[in-house]
Structure 1
Amino acid sequence: MQNELSVPSLKKKIVFIVEHSTVKGFYPLERVATVAKLLKDEESVYIFLKQDGQEAIEIFTDEQLSPILFDNYTELKTQIRSLEPDLIVQEGKDSLVEQIEQLRPFCKTIVHFDDFGEGALLADCNIVALFEEVRENTAQNILSGSFAFAVKESLKTIANERVSNELSSPPHIVVSYEDGDENNLTYRTLRHLTQLQIPLRVTVAIDREYKHSVEDLQMMVLSRRNTRILKDDHALEKLLPEADIVICNANYTPYKVATVGIPCITAAQNERELNNAFPREHNGFIHLGLGRKMKQSNIQNAVMEMLLHEARRERAVRKQFELELQDNNDVIKSLLLDFAYERHNMVSL
């Protein structure tokens, strides 16, 4: 008998390095968990997580992933040197030049997500979902677009289970300023909404990163019928199935809302969010600018525009669905595999 030659297929080693950023919130960790789960059946995947408490760890363990904890980059360098990965994916906190210089000798290809630090210039590619309007001095290694938002399975489920976008009676407005809400836009928005003299149901989403007193909100809630607070680690996700309009910050939250397909009003928590080009009119959003400068008339007019004009709500949802965000995970997976197998060619997506 003729012996058949079988060539074993060697898996690529893909390393994710993750550090929680108070500015970007927990979503970057969720993106790594989502993408790593897609890759781990085909390749050898390792997740190195900078020590930051149990909440960060649980994002991975909830997805049956086991992160390797590290305290500093000197310790991480030792582990990366012994591993010799084919691809490093850096996520979360903005990187420093010295961090990347420590890792570069042990890996041919380094990819970053939403990195606005100086170390991003040393990466082979910086994949950006929080992109700004096109500028002449944009770094050559940037790939930007809405494709860079990885979609959790739970968001896909909510999107598929939403029956229609008919307004409830009374209409239900969800207020959700994620990622810390440094200027307490939650309080400011709720105060403005309570001045609207129309029947409304308002729910305020308070997650684990909200930094301010909930008691102040509770006092305001008591003064208005059909107004409540939902305090939960995943408050927004719990409310998306029943929201008619979402008012939120301009970071990653608009992507979550657009995945489900809900009319959305955004206000920036800081200057960085103000520059984000995704949550704008061309994608169906009403953008109010910097939240701390938001006038009562502006937010009230935006709410009334969404409530009174069915065509405006329909256009908002149509624009969101035209982005086809639910296909993003396949795009990101293919892109990272191209880098791992050195098939990459920096052609804009």
Structure 2
Amino acid sequence: MKKTTNLILIPAFSNNKNISQHNLRLVNNNPLLYYVLRTCIDAKCADVFVVTDSEAIQEVSLQYTPNVIFLKDTNLSNSEKIIKNALDAFKESNFNYKKCLVIFSDLPLIEKNTIRKFFPKISKNHTVTGYVENSDTFTKSSLKHNLSKLSVQENIVSSRTIFGFDIQYFLKNKKFNPSYVGIKLSPTEGFIAKNYHDLEQIEKILNRRKILVCVNGSNKIGLGHVYNMITILNYLRNNEILIVMEKSKNLGHQKLRKQLYKVKFYSNNKEFNGILQNFKPDLIFNDILYTTTSYMKKLRKSNSFIVNFEDLGPGSDLADLVFNPIYVTNKTKPRKFFGSNYACVRDEFRILHSKPIRKKVKNILLTFGGTDPQNLTLPVLELLSKNNFKQKIVVILGMGNAHKNKIKKLVFQMNQNSQNVRIIEQSDIMAKYIRESDFVITANGRTVFEIASLKVPMITVSVHEREELHKFSRISGGAIHLGSINNLTMKSFQNAIIKMMDYDFRLELRKNLEKHDLLNGVHEIIRIINTKFDDQKI
């Protein structure tokens, strides 16, 4: 007695009008036929048989399953004849099948869950077919349910590629039920190779990895983590990416969505665990500042490859890779990479190049990140106002700055007093304003790498204790670092600005910055991730 009454037939024939021997063409070192066959077997919802007219395909199929039906002189254009001959091959066995799903090997990207959806829908009253939505010929109203009445149109219905039917109805009437219902396939699942270039496209899709990106942004921690992830993800194009953010720390999610990334929010561990279990990532990126051991142990259960960024927490020891570009250590730590060689500079800083240094200072730039939680912009502007600086002053205010009204009021007063101050809110091309500047006054975060990449001298302030651990501005030789905000005096700020007015001093800082290559960090990170991930798979 058979364990299942469900049957899957995979017709795999030698002739194909577009690609010769297409079933045996290697895609990622496996024959094309392998992918449909493997997925059907893994779905575990039916007995699976390959139907072929080719001795070569038969031999290859037997490597994966003993269930092969060999047919001679089969007319590939007649699906009903193919299925009739295949079912006839069972006559001498204890045939107990009631429902049959036919999947041609042309659908190597079909998913297990989609295959499982067919059998509950199969009935004597209709044939079930897979379809890919065509917006030109298919209206939204007709797709209210997963099971939709279909008019059989060549450009909508994959009737020759995947369909399910009631076996008793078929044997009695010697044809499929002409009434069709449909199960929607994703565009990827419905992709069929029509030429040799399409095989390459299938190979790329099969190589896709699922990456879960855990990133936070808030007024307290800023937007550096968000920008860092955007930069890295831009170099991981052939992947399925899902970004998750704590609901209370979702500042910057608009920027992620503007990049067309899918973003989900969670409020508690239960919601996060649900996202993790449903997505089933191959890789997990953490750019959340500080990971705990308990958090990382939870992620380890997913069997994902885990990469952490800017993480000095105890959980970092459980990551497969850790990149800490803004921290420096003299100790070599396995799987952990420190220093500016791993800085991720945004693409705009690769596109725009540095300008020659000017002898006289004309432009000063103020930027304290997307949030400026310590409101440093205001006292620095007050100092420049008090000393009646006549140089052009550009102030970049991020989307999370909570002090905009006070800053705008002061800027208005400065301009009334014949000073030249301009406010830029949420610029999409920050590199433009940095390279136009003679020096930049900034926080001691990740922005220092981008300023340094354009060889612009800077004055830096650590806006919290963690930033005091960021060593680059001190060791680069390209900045005046004023230490922590807790020890900052306006006198030290004033002295630093006076120093920056000296051409020879700024020239020395620039020459020091020219010694640092900050444009290859993201490429090195991607190289290491890909290499280590592939090594782990082996």
Q: TM-score, with normalisation over the residues of structure 1?
A: 0.84
The sequence identity of aligned pairs, in percent, is 20
Q: Answer yes or no: is the 8 Å Cα contact 1:218–1:229 preserved in 2.
A: no
Please give the per-residue CA displacement for 1:130-164, whole angstroms capped at 9, x wherever unaligned.
204x367x965531111332222223233x2x442
Contact kept, 8 Å, 1:147 with 1:332, in 2: the verdict is no
Which residue does the alignment assign to 1:226?
A: 419
In the other structure, the counterpart of 1:103 is 299
Amino acid at match of 1:181: D
Larger radius of gyration: 2
* Counterpart pick for 2:212 among 4, 11, 15: 15
Aligned to 1:338: 531
Offset of residue 82 of structure 1:
4.2
Deviation string, structure 1 residues 201-227 (Cα, Å, up to 9, x no partner) = 222222222233532562365245334
1:178 paired to 2:369: yes
Aligned to 2:519: 326
Q: How does 1:177-216 map to 2 (within 5 A)?
A: 177-196=368-387, 199-212=390-403, 214-215=405-406
Q: Does the C-alpha gap of structure 1 residues 38 and 91 become closer, same or farther in structure 2, counting only changes over 3 Å?
A: same
Matched, 1:289 2:486: no
Aligned to 2:54: none
Contact 1:121/1:139 (8 A) holds in 2: no
| 2: CA distance, partners of 1:229 / 1:198 | 13
Structure 1: how far apart are the matches of 2:260 and 2:226? 14
With over 3 angstroms needed to count, the CA separation of the structure-2 counterparts of 1:66 and 1:321, relative to structure 1, is: farther
What is residue 164 of structure 1 aligned with on the other side? 356
Q: TM-score, normalised by structure 2?
A: 0.56
Q: What aligned pairs does 1:252-331 form with structure 2 within 5 A after superposition?
A: 252-310=446-504, 312-331=505-524
SS at match of 1:288: strand
Q: 1:213 to 1:55 in 2, by over 3 A?
A: closer
The one of 293, 299, 312 aligned to 1:116 = 312
Query: What SS does the aligned partner of 2:476 have?
Result: helix
Give 1 or 2: higher helix fraction.
1
Asked if 2 retains the 8 angstrom alpha-carbon contact of 1:176 and 1:236, the reply is: no
Counterpart-to-counterpart distance in 2, 1:235 and 1:278:
25
> Structure 1 54/309 Cα, relative in aligned 2: closer, same or farther at 3 Å?
same
Equivalence for 2:444: 250
- SS state at 2:426 partner: coil
| Alpha-carbon separation, structure 1, partners of 2:215 and 2:347 | 21
Contact 1:57–1:67 under 8 Å retained in 2 = yes
Question: Contact 2:241–2:262 (CA<8 Å) still a contact in 1?
Answer: no
How many angstroms does 1:299 deviate by? 2.0
- For the aligned residue pairs, the C-alpha RMSD in angstroms reads 3.0
**Residue of 24, 29, 32 corresponding to 2:229:** 32
Q: Which amino acid in structure 1 is aligned with residue 364 of structure 2?
A: I
CA distance in 1, matches of 2:330, 2:355: 40
How far apart are 1:231 and its partner, in Å? 4.2
Q: Any gaps of 5 or more consecutive residues in structure 1? A: 345-349
In the alignment, the residues of structure 2 paired with residue 120 and residue 54 of structure 1 have an alpha-carbon distance, to the nearest angstrom, of 22
1:262, distance to aligned residue in structure 2 (A): 1.0
Aligned residue-pair number: 337
